[in-house]
Structure 1
Amino acid sequence: MALALVEVGVAFGGFRALTDVSLSVAPGQIVGLIGPNGAGKTTCVNVLTGFQRPTAGRVALEGRDVSALPAHRMRRAGVARTFQAGRLFGGLDVLDNLTCTGVGLGLGRSEAELQASELLRWMGIAALESRPAAGLPYTDERRAAIARALMGAPAYLLLDEPAAGMSEPEATDLAALIRRIASERGTGCLLIEHNVGLVLSVCSDVVVLDGGKIIERGDRAVILNSTAVREAYLGAHAEAA
């Protein structure tokens, strides 16, 4: 029972964005994916969610090869994601952003609206229901985007740099939310982040990419003690942790 990349490669012409990448996320598990800019993190997310087909290897969803499934079918199969830019529907309020997603997943309008309202309450942001998405403060926009991704109770949630631009207290609140998503909803989470402290605080397993290849994987201790990771990405972060 997992969402996995199995020896995946992605090439764009002569450029290899990913080479022989394997990773997996199980229900209720939080896995981190870190690396410097251009390491291939977002390409991994795009492959896992059907936005990009692998040129080698495969994507497996609970044992089934889903490499050829497009994004909308992956979403209906229980694989959701957020984006670096929130991508909310600016002309709608927050409740309708979530409701539209529910309807797109096959729920009736009233059922989708009820689920959306319950999700916002569960996340502690019910006060945002009637707020226009276009006018939300940055952090609230990120929270609303996560709530929208949770519509339909996906088994897996891929978070693409959700803490970008957040203050330390806001990132701490986000970490608590991610833990709740995994523990209370049983959702497997893949966290792609530049905030290394956040990743190491919530993830049971961390995968490190550099140049489209995995250079290290393991728990907090393994990552912080890895010379390869320190040289490729962490630098001063490792010294200060």
Structure 2
Amino acid sequence: MAQKLAADMVSVAFEGLRALSNVTLEIPAGRVTGLIGPNGAGKTTCVNVLTGFQKPSMGRVMLDGLDISGLPAHRVRQTGIARTFQSGRLFADLTVHENLEVTGVGLGLSRREASLKADALLDWIGISALSDRLAGGLPYTDERRVAIGRALMLEPAFLLLDEPAAGMSAEEADELSRLIHRITDEVKCGVLLIEHNIGLVLKTCHSIYVLDSGEIIEFGTPDAIKASEKVRHAYMGTQADAEGEIL
């Protein structure tokens, strides 16, 4: 299994406007790495680049030293890099089980293998009771857990979670944190957690990158990030800061 996913001096420009500027970061296997920043900082663009949904204008995406920058998203997934989306993007007209099953088939499993793997994953996450529910009728938080299950099909080397705790209560966010640690401990998957819930990031991640205006302005342990004046300045005046959620 791959040991490191990295962005190497990645820049992305849209019609002359730079969304990312010389971003360098590493996601090691078996660890939880955080990516935080104010709204519009470029976090989702960064995830899109790492997963093949957006080509960098400059720089490279490296998987164990191999440049995968030019691969389309479906080929990136086949290399063992999976993701979730802010909007969930489940197949609304399929059941929860079918959502996982169709992903397995798309990754090369037989229908029976995919079905068995889907059963095992739903049980492992603790959402087997949702198996026959239509994905389009799920509550928001259940939708997030199903999306994580779907991304875990075939045990990827890296899992990138884009705002997985959005809309969750404090108790649900705690459950998510425990699930993420089970993923790194048991699946040995490297996780990138992109999240506005700073408390969840500080509690869950081993190390954290801070993105502001498309640039990495800080990197360190949760304690170092919590103490950083650069990070406080980046968040100053945001709604989350006003509500006391930032650091």
TM-score normalised according to structure 1 size? 0.97
Structure-1 separation of matches of 2:38 and 2:245: 17
Q: Any residues of structure 2 matched to 1:1-241 within 5 Å, and which? A: 1-233=3-235, 235=241
- CA-CA distance at 1:220 after TM superposition: 1.2
Residue identity opposite 2:58 in structure 1: A
- Deviations along 1:112-160, one digit per CA (max 9) or x if unpaired, are 0000000000001111111111111111111000000000111000000
Cα 1:51/1:142, change in 2 over 3 Å: same
Structure-1 separation of matches of 2:114 and 2:129: 18
Structure-2 separation of matches of 1:97 and 1:239: 34
Structure-1 separation of matches of 2:40 and 2:92: 29
- CA-CA distance at 1:27 after TM superposition: 1.0
Cα 1:148/1:230, change in 2 over 3 Å: same
Structure-2 separation of matches of 1:139 and 1:19: 33
TM-score normalised according to structure 2 size? 0.95
Structure-1 separation of matches of 2:33 and 2:245: 23
- Deviations along 1:175-195, one digit per CA (max 9) or x if unpaired, are 000010011110000000000
- CA-CA distance at 1:108 after TM superposition: 0.2
Residue identity opposite 2:124 in structure 1: W
Structure-2 separation of matches of 1:80 and 1:201: 23
Residue identity opposite 1:79 in structure 2: I
Structure 1 residue matching 2:9: 3-state secondary structure? strand
- CA-CA distance at 1:237 after TM superposition: 7.5
Say if 2:198 and 2:246, in contact at 8 Å, map to a contact too. no
- CA-CA distance at 1:233 after TM superposition: 1.8
Structure 1 residue matching 2:147: 3-state secondary structure? helix
Structure 2 residue matching 1:37: 3-state secondary structure? coil
Say if 1:205 and 1:218, in contact at 8 Å, map to a contact too. yes
Residue identity opposite 1:68 in structure 2: G
> Post-superposition, which runs of at least 4 consecutive aligned residues in structure 1 deviate over 2 A?
234-241
Structure-2 separation of matches of 1:15 and 1:137: 37
- CA-CA distance at 1:238 after TM superposition: 7.5
Say if 1:196 and 1:237, in contact at 8 Å, map to a contact too. no
Say if 1:230 and 1:238, in contact at 8 Å, map to a contact too. no
Say if 2:199 and 2:245, in contact at 8 Å, map to a contact too. no
Structure-1 separation of matches of 2:186 and 2:54: 30
Structure 1 residue matching 2:35: 3-state secondary structure? strand
The runs of 5 or more residues in structure 1 that have no matched partner are: none
The runs of 5 or more residues in structure 2 that have no matched partner are: none
Cα 1:107/1:16, change in 2 over 3 Å: same
Q: CA RMSD in A?
A: 1.3
Structure-2 separation of matches of 1:13 and 1:198: 35
Residue identity opposite 2:164 in structure 1: P
What is the identity percentage for the equivalent residue pairs of Structure 1 and Structure 2?
A: 61
Aligned residues between the structures: 241
Residue identity opposite 2:219 in structure 1: R
Structure-2 separation of matches of 1:215 and 1:11: 19
- Deviations along 1:32-75, one digit per CA (max 9) or x if unpaired, are 00000100000000000000011111000111000000100000
